[in-house]
Homo-oligomer: A and B are copies of this chain.
Amino acid sequence: LKTYLDCVPCFLRQALDVTRQVCGGNEEVTERVLRRVLEATHSLRFELPPPYMGRRIHRIIRDETGLADPYAELKRGSTQTALRLSDTVEKRIGESTAPFRAAVRFAIAGNVMDYANACGWDQKQIDACFDEALDRPVDEKALSTLEESAKAASNILFIGDNAGETVFDRILIQHLPADTVTYAVKGSAVINDATREDANAAGIDRVARLIDNGNDAPGTILELCSQEFCDVFQSADLVIAKGQANIETLHSCDREVFFLTQVKCPVIARNLEANAGDWLVEHWKPDTAAEAPQ
């Protein structure tokens, strides 16, 4: 997906909110970040997906705050919150007549643990998401196709998104019958996206082979990813990608991908013919590109 004019004020809004959040409201640091982000917008290429700019913004924030992983503490908190919920989630999936589909729904519920599009979430939002997880409307046909594809696949790549959310990804992976599941995280810290450390804290290492994608952009910008990641991406029988940034970056890639996400922004929502707040099971196939929204 491309970057829209509407993304520009949103980039600046996020840069302000995020910097204040991670630097304790220091307005001098915040002003330096804002000025550098404004400068960066000059060379903004609208034909590229928004995560290109997201990457630049979060590099500026890390540089100006001097924090290599500004969300480290918040990410640890997210994982703790998710782990506390995990027994209940596993119990509800176990009691479900369609455990795989239930596990997919809880993995989408976990996508609420996001600091990219707002200043985070609170316990109330989490509870609401998980309470309604089994009742939220999603594309049942795409969910059926995903279930069939998962049964047929012996080699699955699961691309993660946020720390904390990883706990529910781990639970979903336990319902994937494939011989090999590879779980991909970011190469280094960006926003509250999961890194190796966060994935291990969620127990991913117990259920999947862990790799990182070799870079620090939100989503998956293939041209920035390591050769190792790209090889796994191309050779997997099935790719499942979590989170909106993965739709932004992979929604025109040359292979089939299943996206699982909550839709967080009205611009992306419009592009996907959805509404902000919707839960998506989105089946991307390159040969349907002509009909699919771009």
Interface residues of A (CB under 8 A from B): 5-6, 8-10, 12-13, 16, 27, 30-31, 34, 38-39, 41-42, 46
Please tell me if the beta carbons of B5 and A34 are within 8 angstroms of each other in the complex.
yes
Please tell me if the beta carbons of B5 and A27 are within 8 angstroms of each other in the complex.
yes
- A12 CB, nearest partner CB in chain B, Å: 4
- A66 CB, nearest partner CB in chain B, Å: 19
- A6 CB, nearest partner CB in chain B, Å: 6
The chain B residue with its CB closest to the CB of A31 is B5
How long is the Cα–Cα vector from A159 to B23 in the complex, in angstroms? 42
How long is the Cα–Cα vector from A220 to B238 in the complex, in angstroms? 63
21 pairs across A/B with beta carbons < 8 Å?
A: A5-B16, A5-B27, A5-B30, A5-B31, A5-B34, A6-B16, A8-B12, A8-B16, A8-B34, A8-B38, A9-B9, A9-B10, A9-B12, A9-B13, A9-B16, A12-B12, A31-B46, A38-B38, A38-B41, A38-B42, A39-B42
In the complex, the count of this chain's copies comes to 2
The chain B residue with its CB closest to the CB of A34 is B5
Residues of B within 8 A of A27 (CB): 5
How long is the Cα–Cα vector from A46 to B38 in the complex, in angstroms? 14
Q: Which interface residue of A8, A30, A39, A41 has the most chain B CB atoms within 10 A?
A: A8
How long is the Cα–Cα vector from A6 to B16 in the complex, in angstroms? 7
How long is the Cα–Cα vector from A41 to B11 in the complex, in angstroms? 15
- A224 CB, nearest partner CB in chain B, Å: 25
How long is the Cα–Cα vector from A6 to B5 in the complex, in angstroms? 18
How long is the Cα–Cα vector from A13 to B27 in the complex, in angstroms? 22
Q: Which interface residue of A5, A30, A41, A42 has the most chain B CB atoms within 10 A?
A: A5
Q: Which 5 A-B pairs have the closest CB atoms?
A: A9-B12, A9-B13, A9-B9, A38-B41, A5-B34
Residues of B within 8 A of A5 (CB): 16, 27, 30-31, 34
Q: Which interface residue of A9, A16, A34 has the most chain B CB atoms within 10 A?
A: A9
Residues of B within 8 A of A39 (CB): 42
The chain B residue with its CB closest to the CB of A37 is B8
How long is the Cα–Cα vector from A46 to B27 in the complex, in angstroms? 12
**Given contacts A5-B27, A12-B12, A39-B42, could you give 13 more A-B pairs where the C-beta distance is less than 8 Å?**
A5-B16, A5-B30, A6-B16, A8-B12, A8-B38, A9-B9, A9-B10, A9-B12, A9-B13, A9-B16, A31-B46, A38-B38, A38-B42
Residues of B within 8 A of A10 (CB): 9
How long is the Cα–Cα vector from A253 to B288 in the complex, in angstroms? 64
